[in-house]
Amino acid sequence: MGMAQKLDATARAQDTDWWRGAVIYQIYPRSFQDSNGDGIGDLAGIVQRLPHIAELGADAIWISPFFTSPMKDFGYDVSDYCDVDPMFGTLADFDAVVARAHDLGLRVMIDLVLSHTSDQHPWFKESRANRDNPRANWYVWADPKMDGTPPTNWLSIFGGSAWQWDARRQQYFLHNFLTSQPDLNFHEPQVQAALLDVARFWLDRGVDGFRLDTINFYTHDKHLRDNPGLPVDQRNADTAPAVNPYNHQMHLFDKSQPENVEFLKKLRAVMKPYNAAAVGEVGDAQRGLEILGEYTRGDDRMQMCYAFEFLGPERVTAPRVVEIFKALEDAAPDGWACWAFSNHDVVRHITRWGLSVDAAKAYALLLMCLRGSACLYQGEELGLPEAELTFEDLQDPYGIEFWPEFKGRDGCRTPMVWQADNQTGGFTAGKPWLPVPPQHLHLAGDGAKADGSLFAHYQAALALRHQHAALRHGSQLGLTANGDVLSFTRVVEGETVFCAFNLGEHAQTVTAPKGLWRSLWPNNGTALAETIRLDPWQVCLAVKA
């Protein structure tokens, strides 16, 4: 999608399926662009850099939280859902982001954190005051057991019990994350109504959709039953780092409750008149794809769920892709996934998987060819590796808690680099909130757009996806792994695209399906041979003639 294609209200209202196969660029606002020299990225900085995203060819942006917050978890602890934190600017600055994005043909999705608030939110301050105020039931409060211990064995993702004692009410409150992030009580109708009003507030300001943080954490078991333990060989570290005892439980009762679906239906009904779409983040190592299917089934729930299968520590191999899509087909035959290799919570994939530039290019094309929507994380298109930070530089409470076995999320959150000849990469005129690694500077945006660069490759891959409806929203057939070679076809009425990827270090061959094929990549327009040699990390894409 080019810069000239302005997204006016009519265009936004007409394309009801814009999200299906869309490429969404994630902006972590603290680290994208600082406009005022305080070392922290802001909304005015986003306006300044939106042309970079439009030039890349993305369909939409997803902006991580910028709401008013004490920043204990860097914005994922909200103290006012309907205002902008002063460090990021004002509501007028947000309106400018939306206007500029739409001018550039980009839709705007924002990160709504509905499962919990900050303990500084006025709702929680009122709720904790006593047991009989109007919002007494807006959070999850419970009496202690007879011996004074927490009401259940539920654990926090950030370590320790998920229950925190409150002396005012002499009760425990639930927090699935930091103790300063109390969970809202979705069994209370007034809470649901208030959160639906939050969604309306932002939709009325022109947003095109939401990324829904921890979508399966909204509702807890109202009977407060204990989670069963997990045998050692079943502990999966996809949701929390391996050093975290959170992995020792089967999370049957603290999240992913059936009542959640009813709230999602209400949210979808609110979104429908605006032609808005949502992608829900499912945090569940045990039932992730099953929940994805449950939350995206039919046309009255969420459009997409954010899948974690490609965010793990092990490099995604050809057999692993087949395995993931077989599991997706079994668990969510009608579901729609949104895939990502990197985000603000995991080690950048170029480091995590130890990728060369050629390998990174192969994976970029793979992401653009697999069935589903796709998220790119800022800096991925430049090939930024994970930053190595000292303990003294850490800001993330998660890393500080579990250091050094788990170094936290700061290494993927360091500022974007825009200028190679500037020690802060052109991110800020001041001292950046996290250091800018010197080894990132040669990858800066101003020098990254030459022919043959990783940026140019991403740009071409996104353009290819836009040019071929089969790659955007077609069915996916014949997914096969033969050694390191992954092959499949994408099919939509009137178009069939054959895709083959050598995801390994040795040359391989692959046999094209029967028929006449015209090459799309790497040699556009040439006839495809029946047997194709693929060098290490080489990709072959062809359209049926």
Please give the CATH number for the structural domain made up of 9-115+189-220+255-464.
Answer: 3.20.20.80
- 399 pLDDT exceeds 90? no
How far is C-alpha 423 from the geometric centre of its chain's CA atoms? 29
Is pLDDT larger for residue 239 or for residue 215? Answer: 215
CA separation for the pair 352, 341 (Å, rounded): 10
Which helix or strand (DSSP H or E) is residue 25 part of? strand 23-27
Tokens of 424: 């802060």
426 phi-psi bin (left φ>0, alpha ψ -120 to 50, beta other): left
Q: pLDDT, tens digit, for every residue of 280-298? A: 999 888 899 999 999 999 9
What is the tens place of the pLDDT at every residue in 257-282? 999 999 999 999 999 999 999 999 99
Amino acid of residue 296: T
443 DSSP 8-state letter: G
Given this model, what pLDDT does residue 435 score? 95
pLDDT for 297 equals 94
Listed in order, strand segments (DSSP E) in 373-444 are: 373-377
Question: Residue 65 — very low, low, confident or very high, per pLDDT cuts 50/70/90?
Answer: very high
Per residue in 169-223, pLDDT (tens digit) is 999 999 999 999 999 999 999 999 999 999 999 999 999 999 999 999 999 999 9
- For the record, the structure tokens of 299 come out as 């046309």
Q: Which of 321, 327, 259, 268 is nearest to 293 (CA)?
A: 327
- Can you give the pLDDT at residue 238? 60
Burial track 477-499 (b if 16+ CB lie within 10 A, e otherwise): eebebeebbbbbbbbeeeebbbb
Q: What are the extents of the domains in the chain? A: 9-115+189-220+255-464, 474-544
Count of positions (residues) in the chain: 545
Cβ(368)–Cβ(465) below 8 Å: yes
| Integer Cα distance of 352 and 375 in angstroms | 17
- Using CA of residue 286, residue 288, residue 289, residue 292, what is the dihedral sign? positive
Q: 3-class DSSP state for residue 363?
A: helix
Nearest by Cα to 54 from 525, 427, 466 = 466
* pTM score, whole prediction: 0.95
pLDDT bin (cut points 50, 70, 90) of residue 237 is low
pLDDT at position 4:
44
Cβ(454)–Cβ(348) below 8 Å: no
Looking at the predicted structure, is the pLDDT value of residue 444 above 50?
yes
Does residue 3 register a pLDDT over 70? no
- For residue 473, the one-letter residue type is H
- What H or E segment, with its residue span, contains residue 330? helix 318-331
Decide if 183 is catalytic.
no
213 classed as catalytic: yes
Say if residues 355 and 386 touch (Cβ distance below 8 Å).
no
Task: Identify the residue whose tokens are 């943080």.
Answer: 213
Q: With 90 as the cut, is the pLDDT of residue 243 above it?
A: no
Q: Which of 213, 221, 294, 380 is catalytic?
A: 213
Please give the average per-residue pLDDT across 105-123, as a whole number. 98
Sheet holding 517-521, edge to edge: 475-482, 485-492, 495-502, 539-544, 517-521
Give me the CATH code for the 474-544 domain, please: 2.60.40.1180
Q: Which of 85, 221, 281, 309 is catalytic?
A: 281
Candidates 372, 301, 294, 358; CA nearest to 331 is 294
| DSSP states of 160-178 | SBSEEEETTTTEEEE-SS-
Coil vs helix vs strand at 350: helix
pLDDT computed for residue 239 by the predictor: 66
Q: What is the DSSP string of 80-122?
A: EEEEE-TTT--HHHHHHHHHHHHHTT-EEEEEE--SB--TTSH
Radius of gyration for the chain, computed over Cα atoms and rounded to the nearest angstrom: 23
